[in-house]
């Protein structure tokens, strides 16, 4: 059995320790955010931002080629080649779309490898692609909460759903890789259906967050966009209004992009999770033996 399969089996067999390791990793890649930004800026000063973006794009392409080779190699031994191949193609297509529509510079490609390990670990812990992606959104959302409420608290910044969507796609890459090293079989009519989709803990958690947000917004305690004349609200989801649908901020990067609004972001994220659930609906995942 490959070492990756052994690690995934250990995660599934020792879930408490697996969740602790996952939380430790999530904290390790979240809290040093400002230090990493400072380091990237120092590198840009020495080699120029243009060269840094070129290197980032090159590394991203190399990673995509390497992962594609792994996917093609592992798919040969799988009964569920078609849904897993569809999962991979869908993810690459969404990443390409996100790069075109929601990304200011290629340094942001770091979101994908950052959240890939979380996707691998989560699919081993949950044995459910949509639930794993729901947890990815929660971890990515907490990451953005930290940046929005702490690191950018004095700046006119949005709660960055663009980044959360990139985190989701990075997690999707990891979920697929995890599935390739777990046992995936075709779901049969005689198989136990398991708990309903919406009762899985990760799905229930993300629906709970969404419901809470709607209730806070309906009560006026949360605003979608900041309004300093409204003294009743507790917080707002954005301190920034985009000047146009497509716009460029030179300090963010050379490309025009669209900032997902507090309405567009959740809709796109939930629709993507539902699409992944549809693609994997006939795949039954079990830990490697």
Please give the C-alpha separations between residue 14 and each of 8, 10, 40, in angstroms, as whole numbers: 10, 6, 37
Closest Cα to residue 194, out of 131, 254, 270, 151? 131
CA distance 286 to 289: 9
Question: pLDDT tens, 105-143?
Answer: 999 999 999 999 999 999 999 999 999 999 999 999 999
* 230's tokens: 């409204």
Whether residue 266 has pLDDT greater than 80? yes
Predicted structure pTM score = 0.95
Across the chain, mean pLDDT equals 92
Whether residue 193 has pLDDT greater than 80? no
With vertex at residue 126, the alpha carbon angle to CA 121 and CA 129, rounded to the nearest 5 degrees, is 85
Q: What is the mean pLDDT of residues 73-80?
A: 85
Q: What is the mean pLDDT of residues 42-65?
A: 94
Whether residue 154 has pLDDT greater than 90? no
| pLDDT band with cut points at 50, 70 and 90 for residue 25 | very high
For residue 147, the tally of other CB atoms under 10 A from its CB is: 19
> What is the biggest distance separating any 2 CA atoms in the chain, rounded to whole angstroms?
62
Which of helix, strand or coil describes residue 210?
A: helix
Question: pLDDT tens, 95-113?
Answer: 999 999 999 999 999 999 9
| pLDDT band with cut points at 50, 70 and 90 for residue 192 | low
Do 188 and 282 touch, CB atoms closer than 8 A? Answer: no
């Amino acid at each position: 059995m490959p070492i990756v399969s052994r690690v995934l089996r250990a995660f599934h067999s020792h879930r408490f320790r697996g969740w602790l390791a996952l939380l430790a990793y999530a904290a390790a890649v979240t809290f040093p955010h400002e230090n990493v930004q400072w380091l990237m800026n120092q590198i840009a000063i020495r080699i120029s931002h243009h060269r840094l973006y070129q290197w980032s794009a090159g590394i991203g392409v190399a990673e995509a080629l390497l992962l594609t080779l792994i996917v093609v190699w592992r798919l040969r031994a799988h009964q569920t080649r078609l849904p897993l191949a569809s999962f991979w193609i869908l993810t690459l297509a969404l990443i390409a779309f996100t790069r075109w529509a929601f990304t200011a510079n290629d340094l942001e490609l770091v979101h994908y490898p950052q959240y890939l390990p979380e996707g691998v670990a989560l699919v081993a812990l949950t044995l459910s692609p949509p639930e794993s992606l729901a947890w990815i959104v929660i971890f990515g959302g907490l990451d953005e909460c930290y940046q929005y409420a702490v690191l950018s608290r004095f700046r006119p910044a949005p709660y960055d759903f663009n980044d959360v969507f990139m985190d989701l796609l990075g997690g999707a890459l990891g979920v697929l890789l995890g599935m390739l090293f777990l046992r995936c079989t075709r779901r049969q009519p005689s198989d136990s259906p398991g708990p309903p989709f919406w009762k899985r803990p990760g799905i229930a958690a993300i629906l709970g967050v969404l419901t809470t947000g709607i209730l806070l917004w309906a009560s006026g305690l949360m605003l979608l966009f900041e309004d300093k004349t409204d003294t009743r609200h507790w917080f707002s989801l954005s301190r920034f209004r985009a000047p146009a649908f497509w716009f460029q901020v030179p300090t963010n990067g050379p490309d025009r992009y669209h900032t997902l609004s507090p309405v567009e972001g959740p809709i796109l994220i939930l629709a993507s999770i539902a699409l992944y659930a549809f693609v994997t609906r006939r795949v039954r995942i079990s830990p490697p033996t």
